[in-house]
Amino acid sequence: MSKPTVVTDTDPQATAHEETIIPVKLGLARVKPVTAARQRDSRHSRLLVGTALVVSLLLVLAVIFVLPLWVAEQQPEEPVLALPVEVLPEEPEGPVLTATELATLRDQAEKLLAELLTQQARLDGLAAAEWGGDAWEEYQQSSRAGDDAYLADAFQDAVPAYANALQIGEQLLGRSAEIITAALSAGNAALDAGNARLALEQFQLVIGIEAGNAPAQAGLERAERLPEVLVLVQQGTELERQGDLEEAARAFRAALGLDPSWAPARSALTAVTARIDNRRFETRMSQGLTALAEEEFAAALELFGEALILRPGSAEALDGQIQAQQGQKLEQIALVEARALAFERRELWERAIQLYRDLLVTDATLVFAQAGLERSVLRADLEAKLVNLIGNPTLLFDDRVLADAGGLVADARSVEDPGPRLEEQIADLNRLVVLASTLVTVELHSDELTNVTLYRVGLLGTFAVTQVQIRPGNYTAVGSRHGYRDVRTTFTVLPGRELAPVEVRCVEPIG
């Protein structure tokens, strides 16, 4: 096989991808297919055998009928004295083989012939006659020499002839693998360079040697689609130059749809996609900064997030996102503060407390929330005490509670900007304190024999009728008399209400 020669083969369609490719050039005289050669040899063998048989038959007839007559004519009329001639022994043409040796050689020849037939089938499948050149002719000649010797029972000649043919065949098989490898490499290089014609040549060469070669089949299909791929890439390149990046990307994707393995289309798509992403990134950043300036923090946060998807880790987008988050947070804080103050104005202290606590969970350093929480808790506690005393005025009958209620009224009156609800509560409790502090006249009746004691007031002694000035509340009068069972009378003095006389007499004797 001759060495590959460097050939520059440029496809006219590959305007943007010209490079030097080393194609596989066989450089050998083409010969007829193996099958035809073998058929020709078979016909020649049959012709030679038939001719030899005819010639042999004619020679036998001549020996039987013609030779005696010719010998008789050559006899001299008088005897001639024959001179003695030294007869030398005839040298044999080659070593004489024993029957065992012949049998061994026959077996060897048959084994080699079987291997040769298998090898010939492989070479026929690889179309060796198309690319084998002189080596193929030598292979054929050696095979025929072996066949001739075998048919002549000259096994000692058949064995080396077959062995030589097998050796040449192995060399041809090795050459086929080399040719396939080189042609595949050249075909792929031609594809990469955009040279469809050269790629077709190389892959067809491989398929001619090995019809089922999968890489060659795939390469051939790619080479057939390459012209269309080149057109699409050229269109995409022109669209990109004009600034129509979306359409350019669409053209490159169409090219990759025809040949996903064609690197120039993939690199072009990667480049134009990067440009599209960069343009989208700049647009998102510009829109985000505009939204930030207009205090549309939610929209700005979304736009900066989209920018980060296009360019992960971008310092600009991260900074914008942080500003949007802070603005959004401040906006939310301001909103919550406004709601909490509104609850304070409406004197809904529990709801204001909840909002201030929520704010402090998110940011414990918010001073206004701290102050608002403290203010609301105090007001809520004051309101709870007021509501309790106003709703339960009898609690004021207790001297200690009454004193606390007076202090509570004073505290409530000291609140700045109390609000209508607190003012009303102050008035209600103050009225109740006044009533609970106002003395009420209570008249008690007895029999001048019973000694009467009024709890919370003191000893009243014996009397028929007496009056006491006492504050509203619950009282118990106890009467005692010697020889009589004690009596106990409980009564309630209500503010502003007249109470019927209280009777306290011991009338039940003991024993």
Adjacent-strand bridge partners of 480 = 451
Adjacent-strand bridge partners of 190 = none
The pLDDT score that the predictor gives to residue 11 is: 44
**DSSP characters over 376-388:** HHHHHHHHHHHHH
Count other Cβ atoms within 10 Å, centred on residue 383.
17
CA distances from 274 to 91, 269, 270, 285, 315 (A): 92, 8, 6, 16, 18
Q: Any idea which residue has 């050229």 for tokens? A: 234
CA separation for the pair 21, 24 (Å, rounded): 10
The structure tokens listed for 340 are 């909490």
The pLDDT score that the predictor gives to residue 33 is: 32
CA separation for the pair 396, 405 (Å, rounded): 8
Average the pLDDT over 136-162 and give the result: 84
The pLDDT score that the predictor gives to residue 87 is: 43
User: Who has greater pLDDT, 233 or 328?
Assistant: 233
Please report, as a single letter, which amino acid is at residue 11: D
pLDDT, tens digit, for every residue of 460-505?
999 999 999 999 989 999 999 999 999 999 999 988 788 899 999 9
The pLDDT score that the predictor gives to residue 3 is: 33
Domain ranges of the chain: 10-50+98-261, 281-345, 381-436, 439-503
- Residue closest to 310 by CA, chosen among 282, 268, 289, 270: 282
Specify which of 105-114, 202-211, 375-384, 492-501 reaches the highest per-range mean pLDDT: 375-384
Strand order in the sheet with 484-493: 458-461, 451-454, 473-481, 484-493
Query: With left for phi above 0 and alpha for psi between -120 and 50, is residue 257 left, alpha or beta?
Result: alpha
pTM of the model: 0.46
- Among 56-60, 110-114, 337-341, 344-348, whose mean pLDDT is lowest? 56-60
DSSP state of 487: E
CA separation for the pair 73, 199 (Å, rounded): 81
Please report, as a single letter, which amino acid is at residue 142: S
**DSSP characters over 391-430:** H-GGGGGSHHHHHHHHHHHHHHHT-SS-HHHHHHHHHHHH
Kindly give, in sequence order, each residue whose CB lies less than 8 Å from that of residue 170, ignoring residues fewer than 6 positions away. 119
User: Who has greater pLDDT, 426 or 66?
Assistant: 426
CA separation for the pair 511, 224 (Å, rounded): 138
Average the pLDDT over 258-274 and give the result: 89
Confidence tier at 295 by pLDDT (50, 70, 90): confident
CA separation for the pair 236, 226 (Å, rounded): 15
Are 207 and 24 in contact by the 8 Å Cβ rule? The answer is no
Query: How far does Cα 330 stand from its chain's mean position?
Result: 37
* Radius of gyration, alpha carbons of the chain: 64
pLDDT, tens digit, for every residue of 8-45?
343 434 434 444 555 655 533 333 333 333 433 443 34
CA separation for the pair 47, 39 (Å, rounded): 12
